[in-house]
Amino acid sequence: MLMNKHTVLLIIILMSAPIKGWGQELLVIVNKDNPLDSITKQQVIDLFMGRSPYFPTGDAVVKLDAPSSSDVRESFYQSLVQMSLPEVNAYWARLMFSGRATPPMSVPKEEDILKLVASNSNAIGYIPRESIGELNNDVKTVFVISMD
């Protein structure tokens, strides 16, 4: 079977393109002074989907979300609850209308999450593993989401 030049070019492009989320990890992080050392997936879901306003320790929580157009945010919710961003937004619209919960605070830039968690002992957020950078002594990872 012969392939034309366009088909071969398309195959090469597709094979060389990075696969979104493949092999990457998102870290759910808290401040180093937070008493939590780990958290379950269900507890992460309960926090970020508004089912609980408190850490499992009973302390109040400040939930931080990546920017609304971020691929990191999309990957987080897709991996966590198998929902697209429009579905997550519709979910929050219903909860906010009923007055039952407050959504996580959306930060302007992804790198702000690390800085805000490092400076607030009640904050929780998520970042790609490669974003941990120089503030890694100010935060700790309590849950890892594999993007396989």
Question: In the structure, what pLDDT confidence band is assigned to residue 15 with cuts at 50, 70 and 90?
Answer: very low
Question: Average pLDDT of 7-19?
Answer: 41
Structure tokens at 99: 């007055």
The answer, yes or no, to whether residue 16 has pLDDT greater than 60, is: no
Which of 118, 93, 95 lies closest to 107 in space, CA to CA?
Answer: 118
Instruction: Evaluate whether residue 52 is within a structural domain.
Output: yes
Instruction: Evaluate whether residue 12 is within a structural domain.
Output: no
Give the model's pLDDT for residue 134: 65
Instruction: Evaluate whether residue 10 is within a structural domain.
Output: no
Instruction: Evaluate whether residue 14 is within a structural domain.
Output: no
Instruction: Evaluate whether residue 75 is within a structural domain.
Output: yes
Instruction: Please write the tens of the pLDDT for every residue from 46-103.
Output: 999 999 999 999 999 999 999 988 999 999 999 999 999 999 999 999 988 888 788 9
Instruction: Please write the tens of the pLDDT for every residue from 119-135.
Output: 999 999 999 998 877 66
pTM of the shown model? 0.81
For residue 132, the enclosing domain spans: 21-146
Instruction: Tell me the one-letter amino acid at 46.
Output: D
Does residue 130 contact residue 25 with C-beta atoms inside 8 Å?
no
Report the Cα 121 to chain-centroid distance in Å.
18
The answer, yes or no, to whether residue 38 has pLDDT greater than 80, is: yes
Instruction: Evaluate whether residue 9 is within a structural domain.
Output: no
Pair type for strands 123-128 and 25-31? antiparallel
Give the model's pLDDT for residue 100: 78
Give the model's pLDDT for residue 12: 43
User: How far apart (Å, rounded) are the C-alpha atoms in residues 60 and 123?
Assistant: 9
Question: Average pLDDT of 105-130?
Answer: 94
Which of 70, 140, 144 lies closest to 110 in space, CA to CA?
Answer: 70
Q: What's the structural domain count of the chain?
A: 1
For the domain that residue 79 is a member of, what is the CATH number?
3.40.190.10
